Structure 1
């Protein structure tokens, strides 16, 4: 792991703390004594994950599960497999989940987990062994009423299936609700894979109306073309916006006329990246931040919009598909330039919302159609946008600050009313 990456990840937690400090003056006076609850995780578990490799050797990997706050319900948050995973990053991601679930008014707290590993370097059998061992190590603190993992960067439905099976084996009976994002035939929910991207689109649509930005004909640039970026691109394309630029780990492509998103999805499925897409030109990665655009969707990793990049962005609306893509000093510049930002804790909450639907369906053993899922998702996301927008108008603040005010009020009222035990 590079020193620079460690510093960036440490900064993710500092970014979160800065956001809490910024929102504190807006809170009701009787909630202020409880604010420090939000500035430290409730529980952080670091585990050693030894596995037998295919060649017979034993390798050790470091794993984490952080429960940031459980005042409003069980922890909820993904499991990340990435070579640069470390504790400060996981703490920040868990904290943002606390805020996110509260903004959507879901009955959850925030959690996050991960293993420091490059999953692409493991065989399928090694990946399964890693997942099962990691699950067994964190099993004392997870469960359908305590902490519910889900997929994140580097993990998928199959990995959630292994986690569910391992936990169920430990408990001696099938526990489908211990994770979400599972394969549908193991109790997963329809619509889950596309839910985060759909949420980005729905919140973008609602805020665009409020700032009088026409979606039809608008120029959209997207960083990241995984589940989130590709689905958002597809829905904006269907709404007659022009997706003119896409950047991923393989490079940056550009088309003045707009990209055929369906063709690009097919290309990425075949070639594992946007590079070489025949209907577009390759441009330098840094040009992504200066091209003419109306809507920017950062849907990759955190810490992408720096102060320098914020100075040059031409977007009128930023939809944070990724967690923590905008540094606080960059946001100040963007707001001064009257660029609207739909914050991550609202914008990309479609995934956790459908995870909530999956959990509810598992508890009831009764499952909904994809149309029902999408209708319920759209309704919740639009309601959350309305709540946050109204709070921003009332307090005369940014959408991010409004979202944090709303979330912190809900969390801290729960903390206050539950009291502290033992006293």
Structure 2
């Protein structure tokens, strides 16, 4: 196994574990930046390990045309903050590949990238699905490079790796009563609970609170599904082809059933009473809650003035750029940051690894709902009483949790 002792490091070469980092996990240089070039296709890939806790970092692997080192670094920083906010005993990382996932050569690119990053995947980087890469594809690649499963770096530290792997496989295969894979929808469920926590804190009637969601993939689709199930009217859904809108609320399950393999809704089968609008229309909808759940950097300084929602819940990583968030906050439009709202999948994966949740999906739902409500309630209380923006409060939670883990150097995985 390759370890930190024989992997080249950035900076001065000293390991930057949690005990050596600043209190705020955002206020530091990444532990490691790596760039990879694919000789077959010319694709470029990146890995940024922002922080290590107990020698581990977690974060997904994405593939999209135009992916950059800057983007991956931002996402790694967000993962580091996310794990700290939820008190997870692991640092943050992210991988990215500048390539079209729809290209027939994409699987080969993914496999060669993982081979190049194998030392990190073997010992330190716990990864999972992200934009353009499904969990199924990642696990297939891990099998081919003889690493078993994408949680390998953590599983191999277990006292009984085979039993831990069996538990992880069983957890990833767990299904809800609706037949949905828990691992596919737990992230969206968490975002839905973040939305509901905001509604609860503001005293809004859920059945009269309108929501617009940009994105109908794993995160956006799951968010829409669970808000609809709770009776919250989702009035707009947007994918790459445009925005679907109904002022009284969309039939979310029916529309999600029309998605193709790329997460786009078949427009030929959309009901006539659903308006088909331009893709960017979703951001300017006059709704109570806007959920950017598709691409990073969706709300920018250029389009922030068109946002009419009363609250933005960031389901996509870095869905709102900092200058846009400042402008929204000045208008008293609150932004619930990504490292809280979309942390459900990461938190659940580590609860599963640590044996803190079992195979009953509803136990995982209960824990995530309680954890999400607790953090959102704290953010909303700070805003309501002293006007502290939600991000500032959430960063304070992350800093306190990271400080409490400063003396933990070993991770026990049952």
Interval containing the TM-score (normalised by the shorter chain):
0.7 to 0.9
Q: Is the 8 A contact 1:71 1:411 kept in 2?
A: no
Q: Aligned ranges for residues 17-36 of structure 1 at < 5 Å?
A: none
Matching residue of 1:46: 35
After TM superposition, the score normalised by the length of structure 1 is 0.78
Aligned mate of 2:276, from 282, 291, 294: 282
Q: 1:319 aligns with which of 313, 325, 336?
A: 313
TM-score w.r.t. the length of structure 2 is 0.80
CA distance in 1, matches of 2:265, 2:125: 36
Which one of 169, 178, 184 corresponds to residue 152 of structure 2? 178
CA shift, 1:73, in A, is 5.4
> Which of 190, 196, 199 is the aligned partner of 1:208?
199
Kindly report which structure 2 residues correspond to 1:21-420, keeping only aligned pairs within 5 A, or say none.
38-50=27-39, 58-71=40-53, 74-122=56-104, 126-143=105-122, 146-167=124-145, 169=146, 174=148, 177-178=151-152, 186=169, 189=172, 190=174, 191-269=182-260, 272-274=263-265, 276=267, 277-278=270-271, 279-361=273-355, 367-389=358-380, 396-411=387-402, 414=405
Deviation (angstroms), 1:373: 2.2
Q: Deviations over 1:126-163 (max 9, x none)?
A: 444333322221111223x6220111001112222124
Check conservation: 1:161, 1:183, Cα contact below 8 A.
Answer: no
The 1:338–1:213 alpha-carbon spacing in structure 2 relative to 1, beyond 3 Å, is farther
Decide whether the 8 Å contact of 2:304 with 2:328 is kept in 1. yes
How far off its partner does 1:201 sit?
0.8
Instruction: Provide closer, same or farther for how the CA distance between residues 307 and 175 of structure 1 changes in structure 2, counting only shifts above 3 A.
Output: closer
CA change 1:246–1:49 in 2 (3 A) is same
Instruction: State the secondary structure of the residue aligned to 1:208.
Output: helix
- Structure with the bigger percentage of helix: 1
**Structure 2: how far apart are the matches of 1:412 and 1:97?**
17
The C-alpha deviation readout for 1:216-252, integer Å capped at 9, x for no partner, is 1221111111111111111111222221111111111
Instruction: State the aligned residue count.
Output: 369
> Post-superposition shift, 1:188?
5.1
1:394: Cα distance to partner?
8.0
Query: In the superposition, relative to structure 1, how do residues 318 and 354 fare at CA in structure 2: closer, same or farther (>3 Å)?
Result: same
Residue 220 of structure 1 contacts residue 297 of structure 1 at CA under 8 Å; is this kept in 2?
yes
Provide the residue aligned with 2:12 in structure 1: none
Aligned-partner Cα distance in 1 for 2:107–2:134: 12
Q: Deviation per CA, 1:259-308, whole angstroms, max 9, x where unpaired?
A: 10011011224895236222411123343333321111110111111235
1:200 is displaced (CA, Å) by 0.6
Counterpart in 1 of 2:177?
none
Cα distance in 2 for partners of 1:90, 1:44 equals 9
| 1:302–1:294 distance in 2 versus 1, CA, 3 Å | same
Output the aligned Cα RMSD: 3.1
CA gap 1:135/1:210 in 2 versus in 1, 3 angstroms:
same
Q: Does the CA contact (< 8 Å) of 1:72 and 1:107 recur in 2?
A: yes
Cα pair distance change 1:393/1:104, threshold 3 Å: farther
Q: Secondary structure at the match of 1:118?
A: coil
Unaligned runs of 5+ in 2: 1-19, 155-164, 175-181, 410-414
CA contact (8 A) 1:323 1:344 kept: yes
Is the Cα contact below 8 Å between 1:34 and 1:416 reproduced in 2? Answer: no
Q: Give the Cα separation in 2 of the matches to 1:358 and 1:34.
A: 27
Shift of 1:395: 6.7
SS in 2 for 1:376: helix
Shift of 1:411: 3.0
Q: Name the CA distance, whole Å, in 1 between partners of 2:343 and 2:396.
A: 17
- Of 211-220 and 300-309, more deviation after overlay is shown by 300-309
Cα drift, residue 416 of structure 1: 8.8
* Structure 1, gaps ≥5 residues long: 1-30, 51-57, 419-423
Distance in 1 (CA, whole Å) between partners of 2:402 and 2:313 is 24
